[in-house]
Amino acid sequence: MTDSSMLRGKPTGKRPWCWQEKRARRLIRASMDGQSGCIYALSVYCGLTEIASDSGKATFQTSHDNIASKAACSISGVKRALIVLKKLGLIAVTTPPALMGPCTYSLLVSPELTSVQNANHTEGATLEEGNKKEEEPSNNLARKLEEIGKDHIWKSDAEMIFALYPRKIGSRPMAIKAIWRALQIVGVGSLRKAVIKFSQTPDAIRDGGKYCPAPLKWFSEEKWKDFLPLPTIPAPVIVAPSQALLDVRVMFSKRILTVTETETANVFLDRLTQDDENLMSKNEKDWATSMKLARSEKTAKPLNQTGEER
């Protein structure tokens, strides 16, 4: 059994502590699941809380070098992590005019964390907090996922889509490849909306996502196509036949025409428009062509002096 004198107890003047919000750490882990930048973000957040503890207040001035020394990472890693923490709403950064001097940092109250992924973050949480998390409506999950998808900085569109997927099991690299294949078919905006829409379905929510398929299976089988918005099909344009076409069809139905009816049919044929010709059947077009040819041949025949055909 461990001696009680060996337990760390409470902070004292000789052994001061720096405290962190577990909710903030959960938010970082949930929003950057599986990414290498998650380690930098957690380390930099830890370093900022230590600097805040040394300053005795939540708002303080410090340099990138000091943050890098506390976080045990490079300055470039600090800069990338600060962007992430700012996007997540965990810190506020005030840059001095003309970039002269260190920036001012403020540690903020972490935003409410929805179960963005199915990891079990119940350590140290009270029963009341757990009940609130279970009672949170499913539409809040979709809203939080959409905010993370819009605002967070990702290495690629595929990683952003993967982070939006409600359950992360199986091979992450293979799932990323499956998402990339989907992005060759559909745009990132449409795929993001499809994933968010799927996250609101019973299969994705019921029993903590127990029945939600693995991302590799879901994207490989192109299940996202079931959640794409239906394409808008324009209404067909219906062109009504003109009176000239109706008259031509009456003449066509007679088959055998008198001389007077033939002249009348030719008048109707001259009145036809392009839309009328598109509405005519093949037989009607053939008949109209033969009528025009007969008229042209009759016109081309030479006449004698009495005006009669030779």
pTM of the predicted structure, to 2 decimals: 0.40
pLDDT tens track for 208-254: 788 899 999 999 999 999 988 766 666 677 777 888 888 888 888 87
What is the end-to-end Cα distance of the chain in Å, rounded? Answer: 133
HEC letters along 179-238 = HHHHHCCCCHHHHHHHHHHHCCCHHHHHHHHCCCCCHHHHHHCCHHHHHCCCCCCCCCCC
Residue ranges in the chain assigned as alpha helix (H) = 22-31, 37-55, 64-71, 75-87, 127-135, 138-151, 157-164, 172-183, 188-198, 202-209, 215-220, 243-254, 259-270, 274-279, 282-300
Q: What are phi and psi of 121, to 5 degrees?
A: -105, 60
Topology of the domain covering 16-107: Arc Repressor Mutant, subunit A (1.10.10)
> Domain segments of the chain: what residues?
16-107, 140-227, 243-286
- Note the pLDDT of residue 299: 64
123: left (phi > 0), else alpha (psi -120 to 50), else beta? beta
Distance of alpha carbon 294 from alpha carbon 266, whole angstroms: 10
pLDDT at 115: 39
Is it the case that residue 150 has pLDDT exceeding 70?
no
Contact 39, 71 (CB under 8 A): no
